[in-house]
Amino acid sequence: MHTAHPRGLSPTEVGDFLALIGKEREQRLREAARRIRKQVGAGTLWHVNSTAAGGGVAEMLHILVPLYRQLGIPVRWAVIDGDDRFFDVTKRLGNLAYGSVDPADRLDPADVDHYLTRSAMEAKELLALVGTRDLVLLHDHQTAALVPDLAGAVRGVFWRCHVGVDAPTAGSRAAWDVLAPLLERADAAIFSIARHIPERLPDHQVAVIPPVIWPYSPKNEPVPRRMRGPYLERAGLGRERPPGYVVSEGAWDPAQPLVVQVSRWDRLKDMHAVLAGFVEGVPDARLALVGPDPTAIADDVEQRRWFEVCRAAWSELPDRDRTRVRLTCLPMANGDDNARLVNVVQRTADVVVQKSLAEGFGLTVTEAMWKGRAVVGSAVGGIAAQIEHGRTGLLLADPGDLKQFAELVTLVTEGQVDGPGLGARARRHVRDTYLPDADLLAVDELLSTHTTGQESPR
C-alpha cells in the first residue's frame, strides 16, 4: 500500500472551470462542498484503487482529489500493491464481471484464496493509515476484499464499481459469487449506470454515480492546430517516419479521413476486430489503433498478449491495407505527456470509435465527445448511456457486427452524416452532464444518505 500524489490544479484552471459551468452551477457546487466538509468533519475522505497511472479510475482521481482539496475537503489517495498473481486473478475477476465466459478467465478456489490473502495484507497496511473518523471510497474489484476489514474500523466504507455487464452471464454470476459476500458490510456500493447493479445487492446498499472528466487536464485541454504536429509525429500519425513503438509500413495519405480507437490492448476493447472491420468495409480512409505501452501498466497483465494479436493481424494484411493501418504503443513514462499525445490523436481524428464488447462507462468516449468528435461506439454499458444515436454520435447495436460497424464509420468518413454536427452536440452533452461538479453533488447525496456521522470505535 502506498499513497499517490496527484498533480495540483492551478487557480487559472479552477477559474476557467467555474466560468464554463456558470454561476448557478458554481453555487450548487460550493453548497455541495460545504455539506461534504461537514460530513467529513475532523476525518479524511480516502480514495483507494489499484494503480496511480493508466486507466480511467486513476485519471479521474488525478482530477477529483485536487479539486476536492481546492474546495476545502480533506482527501487522500492510496494505492494497493499486489503481486503478479494478485493482478492476474483480479484481471480475470474483472473479465468475469464484464460477462466473460472464456475458460481462461475461470477462477479456482486457490485463486480466490490468494486474492483474499493478499487483500488482507493490504487492508492491514491501509488500517495503519486511516483513522476512526475517516470515510473510505474503494474503487473496483481489486479493492472489494478490503471492505470486511475496514467496516467498523472507519466511519464509512463505500465501494465503487466501474465495470459491469448489461445482461448477466455465467461469468458475471461467478464474479458476484466472489464479490457480493465481501460487500455485505459496505455502507453502499456505487455503480456508473443503473443497469449494472446486480440482483445480488440489496436496494438500500446501492447508488449510481457516473464518472467525470476535467476539461483542462492534459488529455482534454485545448491544443491549437499549429501545435499538434510534433505530437502527431510522435504518435506515428504524421508525415515523417514513425518512431519505433509504432507498427507501420510506408507512407500514408494525410488527405484521407482518419479513424482512431484509443484504448487498452484488451480483449473487451476488441481492437483486433476494429482492424478487421475497417479493412473489410471502410474504403479510402486511415486507421490508427492507439494504446499504452503494453508492458507499463502493473494491474493489467494481459496487455502484451492482445497487442500481439493485433500486430499479428496487421502483419497478415495485404500491402495496401498495411499502409493505411498503424498501431501505436504510447510511452507511459510521463503521464502528462502520454495524455497530451492521446489528446492530439483524438482531436485530429475524423471519427473516434469505441467498439467495446463490454464497457463499464467508457471515459474514452466522453473525452472524444468533449473534443467535438463524431463518435461511433458499441451500444453497451456507459457508451449507450452517453450517446443518443444520430444526435450525439452513432451506436452499433451489435458489437460483433463488423459489417454494420464499417457502415456506420463510412457514413461519417464519406460525409453522409454531419460529423461536425454530431461532435458539437456531443460536446454540449458532456458539458451539461459529465463534468466534476456532478461528482460533488452525487457524493454529497451519497454521504448524506449513507453516513451516520458517528466515529467508529477501533
Letter for the amino acid at 274?
A: V
Q: What type of residue is 161?
A: C
Phi first, then psi, for residue 349 (nearest 5°) are -70, 145
CATH number (domain holding residue 442):
3.40.50.2000
pLDDT, position 455: 67
Same domain for 324 and 407, yes or no, is yes
In a shared domain, residues 174 and 246: no
- Residue 457 domain flag: no
88-100: per-residue pLDDT in tens?
Answer: 999 999 999 999 9
Contact (Cβ atoms closer than 8 angstroms) between residue 219 and residue 367: yes
- Give the β-pairing of 258-262 and 286-292: parallel
- Describe the strand order of the beta sheet including 394-396 as a list of residue ranges: 246-247, 325-330, 286-292, 258-262, 351-354, 374-378, 394-396
Q: 325 pairs with which residues across the strands? A: 287
Neighbours of 189 (CB within 10 A): 23
d(CA 3, CA 8): 15
Residue 220 domain-assigned?
A: no
Mean pLDDT, residues 406-410 taken together: 98
Long-range contacts formed by 2-6: CB under 8 A, 24+ apart: 2/78, 2/79, 2/81, 3/76, 3/77, 3/78, 3/79, 3/129, 4/52, 4/58, 4/61, 4/77, 4/78, 4/79, 5/77, 6/61, 6/62, 6/63, 6/65, 6/66, 6/77
Give the range of the structural domain holding residue 148, as residue numbers without chain letter: 2-212+435-450
User: What pLDDT sits at residue 157?
Assistant: 97
Domain assignment present for 455:
no
Whether 302 and 181 map to the same domain: the answer is no
Can you say whether the dihedral through the CA atoms of 195, 436, 27, 452 is positive or negative? positive
Q: Count of domains in the chain?
A: 2
The mean pLDDT value for 120-133 works out to 97
For residues 111 and 176, membership in a common domain is answered with yes
Same domain, 383 and 249: yes
Q: Tell me: do 162 and 14 sit in the same domain.
A: yes
> pLDDT at position 453, please?
59
Amino acid 421 reads G
**Does residue 163 sit in the same domain as residue 265?**
no
Residue 308 covered by a domain: yes
Q: How do residues 307-358 score in pLDDT, each as one tens digit?
A: 999 999 999 999 999 999 999 999 988 888 999 999 999 999 999 999 999 8
What number is the average pLDDT over the span 114-143? 97
Q: pLDDT confidence of 298, banded at 50, 70, 90?
A: low
pLDDT (tens digit per residue) in 420-456: 999 999 999 999 999 999 999 999 999 998 876 566 6
Summarised one tens digit per residue, pLDDT across range 8-36 is 888 899 999 999 999 999 999 999 999 99
What backbone phi and psi angles, to 5 degrees, belong to 216?
A: -115, 15
Assess if residue 66 is contained within a domain.
Answer: yes
Q: Are residues 160 and 262 in the same domain?
A: no
Q: Do 279 and 207 share a structural domain?
A: no
Confidence at residue 300, expressed as pLDDT on a 0 to 100 scale: 63
In a domain, 456, yes or no: no
Q: What is the pLDDT of residue 297?
A: 65
Q: What is the pLDDT of residue 452?
A: 61
DSSP assignment of 239-264, as one string? SSPPPTTEE--S---TTS-EEEEE--
**Helix (H), strand (E) at residue 410:** helix 402-413
Determine the average pLDDT of the residues in 400-418: 98
Asked if 205 and 261 sit in the same domain, the reply is no
Query: pTM here?
Result: 0.89
Q: For residue 384, is it within any domain? A: yes
458 in a structural domain: no
Query: Same domain for 208 and 249?
Result: no
Q: What percent of the chain has pLDDT over 90?
A: 85
Q: What percent of the chain has pLDDT over 70?
A: 97
Residue 296 and residue 193 share a domain: no
